[in-house]
Amino acid sequence: MTEKPLSDFTCICCRVAFKDGEIQRLHYKTDWHRYNLKRKVADLPPVTSEEFQRRVLTQKASDAEQNQDKSRYCKFCRKSFTNEKAYDNHLNSKKHKDNEEFYVESIPTTPIINDAPKKIPAPVGVDVEDAMSCESEEVDSDEWELDDAEVDITNCLFCQHHSRNLVKNLQHMSEAHTFFVPDIEFCVDVKGLIEYLAQKVEQGFMCLWCNEKGKTYHTAEAARQHMLDKGHCKMLHDGIALAEYADFYDYSASYPDANEDGVNADAEVEVPELEGNEYQLVLPSGAVIGHRSLMRYYKQSIDPNRAVVVVDKGHKKLHKVLATYRALGWSPAQQEASARRARDIHYMKRMHSKMTMHLGVKANKFQPHFRQQVNY
């Protein structure tokens, strides 16, 4: 069996020869072959492999240079633009000018890392082993830690506005962002509260309303923009969040026994035992709570000062009427039977009226849609 010549495995488009069919099939999958195939359709001569690689590198360099020229970035508004015209229109906008006016250059602080452990002297009266055990105690991962860096409480929590003092800052946040301190009459440390909120925004990158349940942000500007866009310029002070701000509030003044002397606020409150029976309950205040089965009687508005008519059974006229009834054969048993018969008749009338209404409603539902009755 003779070996096949090299000319049997060739590519007509690229004008090259191969040793075997496997290399030829791999060649058909390359970009070089596709490029020559498109040139063949356009009646153009093929290019060599070296020329194709040179054209690819030239095109990549041209695309990178073109993208670099077209890309425009505004550091004041943190936006990128793909063309020159859109970038020029943005520079002339009012929002860009406002952001440029209040822009503050943020200087990144590089933390100094000291590999050598710093020795802290143990306080007087504390055992060294106890101090070492306190140092090695791990912090719960769920707890949110703040940096030691101080924050300026005269800066707005939601924008770059700077005020002269804390009062002016609170006034600005109230007028511009509708922010207010909840239960401010019970807040004993307003300065500490605002400083804590500023640390949450500037160092923790958190939304004051979403707290830890919302989206994670990587910069303070992103957290502020989220609060402005979503209208979250408010402080969450409800539910579990009350325990977070417990150090800044004191609600002891709102307790009922706050003005009494010698009363311990932490003492247990003794609730007196309630009196009553199975149908009503008497509260310590004197109010009476009745059972639901007695609702029809509690709904009655009877005048307690009404004049009660008392029938004098010893009256002569009453005796005369009763004597006439007894002479006609009337007895108390007949009175009960007559009352029972009257109730039965009343019940039958109500059921008849109910069934008549049910039948009328059902009769109207026999034809759910319009149907023509005649065919001519």
User: What is the residue whose two structure tokens read 């004041």?
Assistant: 76
- DSSP single-letter state for residue 162: B
Tell me the pLDDT tens digit for each residue of 198-211. Answer: 988 888 888 888 88
- What pLDDT was estimated at residue 376? 58
Q: Which residues contact 281 (CB under 8 A, 6 or more apart)?
A: 274, 275, 288, 289
Phi first, then psi, for residue 252 (nearest 5°) are -65, -25
Q: Which residues contact 263 (CB under 8 A, 6 or more apart)?
A: 257
Tell me the pLDDT tens digit for each residue of 85-126. Answer: 888 888 888 888 888 888 766 544 444 444 444 444 444 444
Q: Could you tell me which residue, 278 or 10, shows the higher pLDDT? A: 10
Q: Could you tell me which residue, 311 or 207, shows the higher pLDDT? A: 207
Q: Which residues contact 81 (CB under 8 A, 6 or more apart)?
A: 71, 72, 73, 74, 87, 90
Helix/strand/coil for 356: helix
**Inter-residue contact 153 to 194 (CB < 8 Å):** yes
List Cα–Cα distances, 311 to 305, 307, 319, in angstroms.
19, 13, 12
**Inter-residue contact 297 to 280 (CB < 8 Å):** no
Dmax over CA atoms of the chain, in Å, equals 151
pLDDT at residue 148 is higher than 60: no
- What pLDDT was estimated at residue 369? 67
pLDDT at residue 348 is higher than 90: yes
Q: Name the band, by pLDDT with cuts 50, 70 and 90, for residue 68.
A: low
Decide: pTM greater than 0.85: no
Q: Name the band, by pLDDT with cuts 50, 70 and 90, for residue 249.
A: confident
